[in-house]
Amino acid sequence: MTRLRLGIAPLKHDSRTVRQSLDYPSQAWILKDVPNQELDRVFQALADGTRRELVERLIRGPASVGELAKPFAMSLPAVMQHLQVLEACGLVRSEKVGRVRTCHIEPAVLRLAENWISRQRTAWERNLDRLGDFLKTEERS
């Protein structure tokens, strides 16, 4: 967590001091979660359907770029661009042996996204349970 300093300077207007619409003390501290850039890159990569299909295929096991490209109606260079995005975010790693490039999934990075989603699901389930309890008490009243 990073602390950001929010300084709201008073504005001068017709010889009276007007504050901006946010009524914070002049030097308030706001705690803000710094976005996890690695997680952002993972979700950005997974936002594309083709890349999600590539990840789904690689979860079953390693595959060559040629094997990965077969089911898609696109050129091999286009598939390689998708794989480069997946490699850049760490979801996929590849190795070249001779003329064949083989891709593998990186489970630790996939687990990172899974853990974030799980935490969000838990928080929403708690909130919905509380809402359900509130609605039940309102029905009785």
- pLDDT tens-place string over residues 61-94: 999 999 999 999 999 999 999 999 999 999 999 9
Q: Which residue has the higher pLDDT, 75 or 5?
A: 75
Residues sharing a CB contact under 8 Å with residue 65, sequence separation 6 or more, in sequence order: 76, 79, 80, 83, 94, 101, 102, 103
pLDDT digits (tens, 9 = 90+) for 7-45: 434 444 444 443 333 444 444 444 344 457 889 999 999
Report pTM.
Answer: 0.65
Give the DSSP per-residue string, 93-132: EEEEETTEEEEEE-HHHHHHHHHHHHHHHHHHHHHHHHHH
Beta carbons of 50 and 102 less than 8 angstroms apart: no
Beta carbons of 23 and 56 less than 8 angstroms apart: no
pLDDT on residue 66: 95
- The domains of the chain, with CATH numbers, are 1-34 (no CATH), 35-141 (1.10.10.10)
